[in-house]
Amino acid sequence: MTLPLVIGNWKMNSLVSPACDMARSLAHKLVAVEGVEVVIAPPFTSLYPVGQIIKDSKLSLAGQNCYFENSGAFTGEISLEMLQDVGCGFILIGHSERRSVFGENDALINKKVHQTLKAGLTAVLCVGENLAQRKADETFKVLEMQLSQGLAGLPGLSQIVIAYEPVWAIGTGVNATPQQAVEVHAFIRHYIFEKLGFSEKIRIIYGGSVNPENSKNLLQEKEINGALVGGASLKLESFCAIINSALEP
Ligand code: PEP
């Protein structure tokens, strides 16, 4: 059975003290929980203290972004060594906000994925179409491009998670239906296996307005191996409810 993965992406929210409180409470809530892997991605300023708090817990830590160089004159960037140093085991790469707000393209994203794997961390590659692309029936074409370019040059056994995050569902309150998500997940799985030579067992998680009301229906689908949660991961109750719905009934 594939272990479901639930990642909380806190984005640019939370100061150090509330971030630490949240991590502490979450770690406590998860003490007796088995059968789900839970990861949190706080802002950079909270990574070190949160990493210290959760280091002996069931929680893992993720960076929301990284740069592909190890060190040097790259003002404002953060290296994988730095992220690893504070306890990150996962790195989100190519989130749609990085693509649309900060202009990241597939070539840059591919370099970040390579460097993440080289550092021995798990890359969470985010892909997804926007509304215009979905309406124009271009979803699969967009995904083929993002996947073939984002994963270019990588061996099939790479430590990768794919997060399918339709841009129209992120932060909008409009989630993909389980049917829509399953259709795309099945496409991604088939594509990366048949065309790119990756394992069929790679976890493909869904992100986009996941909340306690819709998480059960999404996460009970076999094709959906977990969730990338934004807004609803900022509150203990809603995030825990989503984690619970990833558990076997
Ligand atoms: C995200 O940040 O990746 C995300 C899916 O956000 P939200 O859950 O708020 O839509």
**What is the CB neighbour count within 10 angstroms for residue 35?**
10
Which of 232, 228, 242 has the alpha carbon at shortest distance from 94?
Answer: 228
| Per-residue pLDDT reduced to its tens digit, 134-149 | 999 999 999 999 999 9
Residue 162 phi, psi dihedral angles, 5° rounding:
-105, 130
**Where does residue 47 rank: exposed (0-12), middle (13-18), buried (19+ CB within 10 A)?**
buried
The answer, yes or no, to whether any atom of ligand 1 lies below 6 A from the CB of 167, is no
Give per-residue burial for 200-236: e unless 16+ CB within 10 Å, then b: eebbbbbbbbbbbebbeebbeeebbbbbbbbbbbbee
Q: Is the domain covering 5-247 a CATH 3.20.20.70 domain?
A: yes
Among protein residues, the one whose CA lies closest to atom 6 of ligand 1? 230
Q: Give the pLDDT confidence score for residue 158 in this predicted structure.
A: 79
Q: Coil, helix or strand for 114?
A: helix
104 annotated active-site: no
Longest CA–CA span in the chain (Å) reads 51
pTM of the model: 0.97
Q: What is the DSSP string of 125-166?
A: EEE---HHHHHTT-HHHHHHHHHHHHTTT--TT--EEEEE--
The SS3 of residue 205 is strand
For 73-87, what is each residue's pLDDT tens digit?
999 999 999 999 999
Burial (Cβ within 10 Å: 0-12, 13-18, ≥19) of residue 181: buried
pLDDT digits (tens, 9 = 90+) for 27-72: 999 999 999 999 999 999 999 999 999 999 999 999 999 999 999 9
Of ligand 1's listed atoms, the one at least distance from the Cα of 207 is 5
Nearest ligand 1 atom to alpha carbon 231: 9
Question: For the chain, which residues make up each domain, given as ranges?
Answer: 5-247
Closest ligand 1 atom, residue 165 Cα: 5
Q: Is the CB of 210 under 6 A from ligand 1?
A: yes
Q: Is the CB of 209 under 6 A from ligand 1?
A: yes
What pLDDT is recorded for position 25? 98
**28 assigned to active site:** no
Ligand 1 in contact with 94 (CB < 6 A)? no
Ligand 1 pocket test: pick from 124, 174, 210, 242 the residue with the most ligand atoms within 8 Å of its Cβ.
Answer: 210
The CA distances from residue 187 to 105, 175, 177, 191, 203, in Å, are 22, 18, 16, 6, 13
186-229 pLDDT per residue, tens? 999 999 999 999 999 999 999 999 999 999 999 999 999 999 99
With a 6 Å cutoff on the Cβ, whether 229 touches ligand 1 is yes
Identify the active-site residue in 95, 129, 185, 223.
Answer: 95
Q: Is 128 a pocket residue for ligand 1 (Cβ < 6 Å)? A: no
Using left for φ > 0, alpha for ψ between -120 and 50, and beta otherwise, residue 128 falls in left
Where residue 46 falls (left for φ over 0; alpha for ψ -120 to 50; beta otherwise) is: alpha
DSSP 234: S
Task: Give me the catalytic one of 104, 129, 165, 223.
Answer: 165
pLDDT tier for residue 157 given thresholds of 50, 70 and 90: confident
239 pLDDT more than 90: yes
Kindly give the pairing relationship between strand 59-63 and strand 160-164: unpaired
